[in-house]
Structure 1
Amino acid sequence: MASRVSLKSKGKTTNKGSKGSDERSIAQSVKEWTSWTMKKAKVVTHYGFIPLIIIIGMNSDPKPQLSQLLSPV
């Protein structure tokens, strides 16, 4: 005999308020998506800010050399 896989969830489940649970799951999904997006944006900003400034400086009107951009003087 082939074994059957049961998809029952463990714990207490009720059918009452299924609309509320849908709203909560949507709210939870939005919260997780926002959190994930902000974490990625933080990393991109962290590692992309200085290269962006260097690229903008290299494309300015008086063309400086890279050493002039990186030196503090």
Structure 2
Amino acid sequence: MASRISLKPSSGNDKGANGAAERSTVQVLKEWSAWSLEKSKVIAHYGFIPLIIVIGMNSEPKPQLYQLLSPI
């Protein structure tokens, strides 16, 4: 199962309040971007074929669903 990303700043060695705030903001930004890229990969993986089917069904001439899914 995938691990969950915590957005809480770590309680490591602090080098002053401003440095800790910058580091935690950068860390949160990195974690958020990794999380969003992972979710977008899953959405693209499971949404590609349905997207192609919807685009195919809205084109002219209107094909039947079995015509879109058949390999011929």
TM-score w.r.t. length of structure 2:
0.76
What is the match of residue 48 of structure 1?
47
Give the total of aligned pairs: 62
**Structure 1, gaps ≥5 residues long:** 1-10
Fraction of identical pairs, as percent: 61
What's the Cα RMSD here? Answer: 1.8
Between structure 1 and structure 2, the one with the greater Rg is: 1
Instruction: State the 4+ residue runs in structure 1 displaced beyond 2 angstroms.
Output: 11-14
**Structure 2, gaps ≥5 residues long:** 1-10
Residue 17 of structure 1, CA deviation: 2.3
TM-score w.r.t. length of structure 1:
0.75
Higher RCO structure (Cα 8 Å, ≥6 apart): 2
Once residues 12 and 35 of structure 2 are traced to their aligned partners in structure 1, the CA distance between those partners, rounded to angstroms, is 29
